[in-house]
Structure 1
Amino acid sequence: MAIMSKVLFLQSEVTDPYPLYATRRAQQPVSWSPEDHVWAVYGYNECTALLQHPAAMIPPQHTEKNQALNEAARMLVARLARVANPPVHPVLRQSVMGLLAQLQPLAIDAMLSRLLGASKEIDWVDTVCRKLPAMAVMQGLGFTEGDIALLLPQTEPLTKVMLPEKTAAQAKEASDAAESALAIARRHILAHPLLRTLAQDQDALDTHAVNLIGLLIQSVDAGRGLLGNAMLQALRHLSAGATPDRKTCEQLVVETLRFDPPIHNTRRIMADDVRLGGQVLQRGDAVLVVMAAANRDPAVFERPEQFDPVRTNNDKHLSFGTGIHECAARHFSVALATQTLATLFSRTRVRLMPQDIAYAPMVNARLPQRMMLALG
């Protein structure tokens, strides 16, 4: 239990973090951790205020720790909307919105057929969750099967670009993946009739290529986690053999985002002094915003520890953030998870096999490592 005294801990080492969140939220919703040198924010109102505050900035990415990256990887770091601050952030976010506007309807049934084959027992995480979100982005944007086959293995190495501390091996892996992915993304944008209109010059082409790759990076943890956690909650709370319709699946997905979100926290650094929850966060202070704790704040959600898909305010969860950095792909993510669950449950009976669910060794995300399902 020594780890529980820390603000920063690996989700793999905690059976259930929510009692800890509840205790800290009740005792002090904004608290300083001398051990981790970071403020932690647990209350719903406090998290909302912090995420919306103009002085709460994304921690700077342009550091000497990225000098080991090649030019392509450094371009990703510099132009990804998700890690940018004003004044450049609005321009980069517009690039993301332009890409999302071009996404075509998802052929989830065909993708599931391709991934599942005739299997009767599968690891849902490895077979579907690690692949389908990125496949959906690429198919939705019209990538060829050949380019999807080239890019799909690069998605997890690309996430290493975002690591604050990188080993030499991680930097090389991220750099190689970035160089390959950028070349494919640029070529695809120029060849695609609609996407090509977004790239008026080389600078615009690079920005859109980078943020297209950003959608793939986001699919790795957030997309994988939502599919995994939503399936887990669905099988724990649906009647055996149930075939939920699309509306029911959407309710399950939205409540999962509140009750069992894949991303538990995000980080900010203060650009100015701010008073929050009776505390003064000073310029330069690091902040951990624990959205998963806010999602179970009893001041906002009645019976927060109960999984209730028909709760009237489930969509008030903070799992996609809020403010200028609210996840641009939130509607796509919900639609993807909803359609995937609805399609699978309509095709076959799904059963969670007896097992202990272990979680990935991550601080910011709670993602099942493996989830064995019986189909049919």
Structure 2
Amino acid sequence: MAVISACVETSCPACIHTGAMQPANPIEAVTHSDPYPYYRRLAERALHYDAGLGLWIAGAPATVRAVLEHGAARVRPAEQPVPPALAGETAGLMFGRFVRMRDDAGRTVVKALLSQYLRALPDVLSPCWPDMPTTSAALDDFLFDAPVYALAQRLGIAAADLPAYGAAVRRFRRALGAAADAAQVAEGSAAADWLQSAMLRHLQNPARGTPLRQLLDDASSALVEPAIIAANLVGLLFQSCEAGAGLIGNTLVALARNPGQAVAARRNMQYCKQIVARTAQDDPPIHNTRRYVADDISVDGHVVPAGATILVVLAAAGTLAPQGDVPWTFGAGRHACPGHDPAVSCAAGAAGHLLDAGLKPAGLLPGLAYWNLPNARVPRFAGKAGFAGGAGHSGAS
């Protein structure tokens, strides 16, 4: 079996710097063609204030950990538990129930219940995937749908319902975008309502002895209502969508830059998992997260005042992480994502499915761009003339 090793050759396609101007700040870095030299420098700096962004910047591993573990560094501003555009909307109600977006005492109980449930779930041996894309635009859709399909199947959602779940999660996600208009917010609220109702139906009368039955029994004992459990299972699907799209897409980019690995990965799931695990560290899907300071705190000798916002640059910290560590893209502290292994399995399965069906990754590189997202690095392949879709389509190998 082929083994992935660290690249030490400056001529390696994955390591060639594009020559593009370096990003001016961590927000620009997320969509930059090669942000990692910038991130490595940022990882050597202490906490500092960026006046242009109006944000404190944490990039060094110790600083990142200190912020993520600080009790006064919250995931939402105290005065805005949900984004203002969603206040009073069904989408806002669902958002406010997500443990990922809460710092109250109740979230600890719910997260423990969910973590235990996820650990108990069996793998899906023959997963269903979205339709094989035959255009670059369809490939973009596949990237966002595939993680939702994979996780929904682990949760026990029927295969026939997967397209509806995927579409609803996408509509809900669009409503949370900073540029969402009133129509998108309304569509997102309708999607949230559908998702909540569908998940509540899924929770009804699970078989005895199953992880879902145990989850509901444990939730009842902890006085956690089924509506909260349903919302947070939807929350898991929502979180998987963007992060999973980035992990699958960045894996395809890594394979495109290493044609030999792309050939070796065909019908070799273990090798696919190695590539995905390496990608999660070297070209991670989630680059930033924010923390909102509820009280004055001291970090790296600086007093960060209450009301300030800290941009936590996970991708910078990741440049100094030893190989084999859980990548920083999964976070740390009380809001760390417990889904490293399922995420790697999902991305490997999706990438392997595309490769086995005939996708030729090298055709994706010309004109490679990234979605304009503030925190997630997700390739955008639409409009690439070199796209080689399913079996029978031409393209570079």
TM-score (norm: length of structure 2): 0.79
Corresponding residue of 1:326: 336
Corresponding residue of 2:169: 155
Q: How does 1:274-293 map to 2 (within 5 A)?
A: 274-293=297-316
- Write the letter of the residue equivalent to 1:153: A
Q: What is the deviation of 1:199?
A: 3.4
- Write the letter of the residue equivalent to 1:41: A
Corresponding residue of 2:238: 217
Deviations 1:281-330 (A, max 9, x none): 22322100001111113xx44xxxxxxxxxxx232421100111110222
Q: How does 1:359-374 map to 2 (within 5 A)?
A: 359-370=370-381, 372-374=387-389
Q: How does 1:1-16 map to 2 (within 5 A)?
A: 4-9=23-28, 11-12=30-31, 14-16=32-34
Corresponding residue of 2:181: 167
Deviations 1:89-109 (A, max 9, x none): 21221242244245332245x
Corresponding residue of 2:140: 126
- Write the letter of the residue equivalent to 1:340: A
Corresponding residue of 2:254: 233
Corresponding residue of 1:187: 201
- Write the letter of the residue equivalent to 1:323: G
Deviations 1:255-298 (A, max 9, x none): 1111111111000012333332342222322100001111113x
Secondary structure in structure 2 of the residue aligned to 1:131? helix
Q: What is the deviation of 1:149?
A: 3.0
Q: Is the 8 A contact 2:128 2:159 kept in 1?
A: no
Corresponding residue of 1:62: 81
CA distance, structure 2, for counterparts of residue 224 and residue 135 of structure 1: 12
Q: What is the deviation of 1:50?
A: 1.6
CA distance, structure 2, for counterparts of residue 140 and residue 130 of structure 1: 17
Q: Is the 8 A contact 2:318 2:328 kept in 1?
A: yes
RCO greater where, 1 or 2, for CA within 8 Å and sep 6 or more? 1
Alignment partner of 1:208 out of 229, 236, 241? 229
How much identity, in percent, do the aligned residues show?
A: 26
- Write the letter of the residue equivalent to 1:80: F
Q: Is the 8 A contact 1:57 1:270 kept in 2?
A: yes
Where do 5+ consecutive residues of structure 1 fail to align?
Answer: 302-312
Alignment partner of 1:92 out of 107, 110, 115? 110
Q: What is the deviation of 1:340?
A: 3.3
TM-aligned CA distance change 1:3 to 1:178, over 3 Å? farther
TM-aligned CA distance change 1:347 to 1:243, over 3 Å? farther
Deviations 1:129-180 (A, max 9, x none): 1221111122222222343232221111112454467532232122111111
Alignment partner of 1:73 out of 57, 67, 91? 91
Corresponding residue of 2:394: none
Alignment partner of 2:319 out of 293, 296, 306? 296
CA distance, structure 2, for counterparts of residue 237 and residue 170 of structure 1: 39
Alignment partner of 1:32 out of 35, 39, 49? 49
TM-score (norm: length of structure 1): 0.83
Corresponding residue of 2:17: none
- Write the letter of the residue equivalent to 2:167: P
- Write the letter of the residue equivalent to 1:336: C
Q: Is the 8 A contact 1:73 1:179 kept in 2?
A: yes
Question: How many pairs are equivalent?
Answer: 356
Q: Is the 8 A contact 1:10 1:363 kept in 2?
A: no
Corresponding residue of 2:128: 111
Where do 5+ consecutive residues of structure 2 fail to align?
Answer: 1-19, 392-397
Secondary structure in structure 1 of the residue aligned to 2:295? coil
Secondary structure in structure 2 of the residue aligned to 1:45? helix
Alignment partner of 1:47 out of 40, 60, 64? 64
TM-aligned CA distance change 1:205 to 1:164, over 3 Å? farther
TM-aligned CA distance change 1:55 to 1:139, over 3 Å? same
Corresponding residue of 1:249: 272
CA distance, structure 2, for counterparts of residue 241 and residue 273 of structure 1: 50
TM-aligned CA distance change 1:5 to 1:229, over 3 Å? closer
Q: Is the 8 A contact 2:82 2:96 kept in 1?
A: no
- Write the letter of the residue equivalent to 1:29: A
Alignment partner of 1:314 out of 303, 307, 324? 324
CA distance, structure 1, for counterparts of residue 83 and residue 310 of structure 2: 22
Alignment partner of 1:272 out of 287, 290, 295? 295
- Write the letter of the residue equivalent to 1:65: P
Q: What is the deviation of 1:116?
A: 2.0
Deviations 1:31-65 (A, max 9, x none): 10112211011112211222122222112342581
TM-aligned CA distance change 1:360 to 1:127, over 3 Å? closer
Q: Is the 8 A contact 1:65 1:166 kept in 2?
A: no
CA distance, structure 2, for counterparts of residue 30 and residue 285 of structure 1: 13
TM-aligned CA distance change 1:238 to 1:169, over 3 Å? same
Q: Is the 8 A contact 1:96 1:328 kept in 2?
A: no
